[in-house]
Amino acid sequence: DAGVIQSPRHEVTEMGQEVTLRCKPISGHNSLFWYRQTMMRGLELLIYFNNNVPIDDSGMPEDRFSAKMPNASFSTLKIQPSEPRDSAVYFCASSLAGTMNTEAFFGQGTRLTVV
């Protein structure tokens, strides 16, 4: 398996523009997580899905952020409009669900720079 695949790897955009980050989880996994990593705040969970349904989005910082999972093999994280403080590395992770499951596999991340 190729692991969790994220695209793009790098994104540079101007303030005010819409940004869409994409994630393909590991085949067969039914939980998906979006994280944001910054030097100041470390790794923060933004939202997670179970069986394509958003379960907890309490980590989404503002209404400018939205996430969807239209099917088991694809998810998007959208920021509209983007702001310089959104600059970070965004990770997607997936796992095989079960409340006792404590491991997920991370993608390589998307480095977002908003100028």
Partner 1 sequence: QQQVKQSPQSLIVQKGGISIINCAYENTAFDYFPWYQQFPGKGPALLIAIRPDVSEKKEGRFTISFNKSAKQFSLHIMDSQPGDSATYFCAATPRHTGFQKLVFGTGTRLLVSP
What is the binding site for partner 1 (CB under 8 A)? Answer: 4, 31, 33, 42-43, 45, 48, 55-56, 91, 93, 95, 97-109
Nearest approach, Cβ of 113 to partner 1 (angstroms)?
Answer: 15
Q: Cβ closer to partner 1: 14 or 56?
A: 56
Nearest approach, Cβ of 115 to partner 1 (angstroms)?
Answer: 21
Strands ordered across the beta sheet of 19-24:
5-7, 19-24, 74-79, 65-71
Nearest approach, Cβ of 106 to partner 1 (angstroms)?
Answer: 3
Residue pair 72/30 in contact (Cβ under 8 Å)? The answer is yes
